[in-house]
Chains A and B, each alone.
Chain A
Amino acid sequence: MTALIALFWRDLRRAWGSGALWLPVLFFLLVATAFPFAVGPDAPLLQRAGGGMVWVAALLAALLPIDRLVRPDKEAGLLDQLAVRGFADEVIAAVKIAAHAIGFGLPLLIALFPASALLAQDGGRVEQLATGIAIAIPALASLAVLSAALTANHKGGSAIGGLLILPLAVPMLIFGAGMLDPSGRGAVKLLAAVSLLLTMIGPFAAGAALRGLRE
Chain B
Amino acid sequence: MSELLRLDNVACIRGDRLLFEGLSLALDRGDALWLRGPNGAGKSSLIRLAAGLLRPAAGTVERRERVALIDEASALDAELPLRRALDFWARVDTVDGHTVDRAMEEMALAPLAEVPVSMLSTGQRKRAAMVRVIASGAPIWLLDEPANGMDDAARAQLVAAIAKHRANGGAVLLASHFALGIPDLAELDMGALA
Interface residue A111 (Cβ < 8 Å from any Cβ of B): no
Q: Would you call A83 and B52 a contact (CB within 8 A)?
A: yes
In-complex Cβ contact of A6 among B73, B75, B92 (8 A): B92
Closest A residue to B132 by CB, please name it.
A81
Instruction: Please report the C-alpha to C-alpha distance between residue A2 and residue B92 in the assembled complex, in whole angstroms.
Output: 7
Per-residue CB proximity of B91-121 to A under 8 Å, as 1/0?
A: 1111000000000000000000000000000
Report B-chain residues with C-beta under 8 Å of the C-beta of A75: 73
Stretch at the interface among A10-18, A38-46, A124-132: A10-18
Per-residue CB proximity of B49-80 to A under 8 Å, as 1/0?
A: 00111110000000000111101111111110
Instruction: Please report the C-alpha to C-alpha distance between residue A81 and residue B52 in the assembled complex, in whole angstroms.
Output: 11
Q: Would you call A84 and B51 a contact (CB within 8 A)?
A: yes
Report B-chain residues with C-beta under 8 Å of the C-beta of A7: 92
Instruction: Please report the C-alpha to C-alpha distance between residue A162 and residue B161 in the assembled complex, in whole angstroms.
Output: 48
Number of B positions contacting A (CB below 8 A): 25
Interface residue A78 (Cβ < 8 Å from any Cβ of B): yes
Instruction: Please report the C-alpha to C-alpha distance between residue A43 and residue B173 in the assembled complex, in whole angstroms.
Output: 71
Q: Would you call B92 and A85 a contact (CB within 8 A)?
A: yes
Interface-central residue, B72, B75, B89, B142, by most chain A CB under 10 Å: B75
Instruction: Please report the C-alpha to C-alpha distance between residue A28 and residue B72 in the assembled complex, in whole angstroms.
Output: 38
Closest A residue to B73 by CB, please name it.
A77
Per-residue CB proximity of A1-39 to B under 8 Å, as 1/0?
A: 011011100100010011000000000000000000000
Q: Would you call B67 and A84 a contact (CB within 8 A)?
A: yes
Interface-central residue, A5, A17, A76, by most chain B CB under 10 Å: A76
Report A-chain residues with C-beta under 8 Å of the C-beta of B74: 76-77
Q: Would you call B52 and A14 a contact (CB within 8 A)?
A: no
**SS of A interface (majority):** helix
Instruction: Please report the C-alpha to C-alpha distance between residue A82 and residue B53 in the assembled complex, in whole angstroms.
Output: 10
In-complex Cβ contact of B73 among A14, A80, A86, A214 (8 A): A80
Report A-chain residues with C-beta under 8 Å of the C-beta of B55: 215
Q: Would you call A80 and B75 a contact (CB within 8 A)?
A: yes
Q: Would you call B76 and A214 a contact (CB within 8 A)?
A: no
Instruction: Please report the C-alpha to C-alpha distance between residue A18 and residue B80 in the assembled complex, in whole angstroms.
Output: 11
Interface residue B178 (Cβ < 8 Å from any Cβ of A): no
Instruction: Please report the C-alpha to C-alpha distance between residue A76 and residue B71 in the assembled complex, in whole angstroms.
Output: 10
B83 to chain A, nearest CB (A): 15
Instruction: Please report the C-alpha to C-alpha distance between residue A183 and residue B79 in the assembled complex, in whole angstroms.
Output: 51
In-complex Cβ contact of B77 among A2, A10, A85 (8 A): A10
Instruction: Please report the C-alpha to C-alpha distance between residue A127 and residue B68 in the assembled complex, in whole angstroms.
Output: 51
Instruction: Please report the C-alpha to C-alpha distance between residue A3 and residue B93 in the assembled complex, in whole angstroms.
Output: 7
Q: Would you call B94 and A3 a contact (CB within 8 A)?
A: yes
Q: Would you call A3 and B51 a contact (CB within 8 A)?
A: no
B96 to chain A, nearest CB (A): 12
Q: Would you call A10 and B88 a contact (CB within 8 A)?
A: yes
Q: Would you call A76 and B76 a contact (CB within 8 A)?
A: yes
B72 to chain A, nearest CB (A): 8
Q: Would you call A76 and B91 a contact (CB within 8 A)?
A: no
Q: Would you call B94 and A80 a contact (CB within 8 A)?
A: no
Report B-chain residues with C-beta under 8 Å of the C-beta of A5: 91
Instruction: Please report the C-alpha to C-alpha distance between residue A17 and residue B92 in the assembled complex, in whole angstroms.
Output: 21
Given the known A-B contacts A18-B79, A75-B73, are A80 and B53 also in contact in the complex, defined by CB atoms under 8 Å? Answer: yes
Report B-chain residues with C-beta under 8 Å of the C-beta of A14: 77
Q: Would you call A2 and B73 a contact (CB within 8 A)?
A: no
A50 to chain B, nearest CB (A): 38
4 nearest A-B pairs in the assembled complex, by CB-CB distance? A77-B73, A6-B91, A77-B75, A3-B92
Residues of B within 8 A of A (CB): 51-55, 66-69, 71-79, 88-89, 91-94, 142
17 A-B residue pairs with Cβ-Cβ distance under 8 Å, sorted by A, are A2-B92, A3-B93, A3-B94, A6-B91, A17-B79, A76-B75, A76-B78, A77-B71, A80-B51, A80-B71, A81-B69, A81-B89, A82-B92, A83-B53, A85-B67, A85-B92, A85-B93
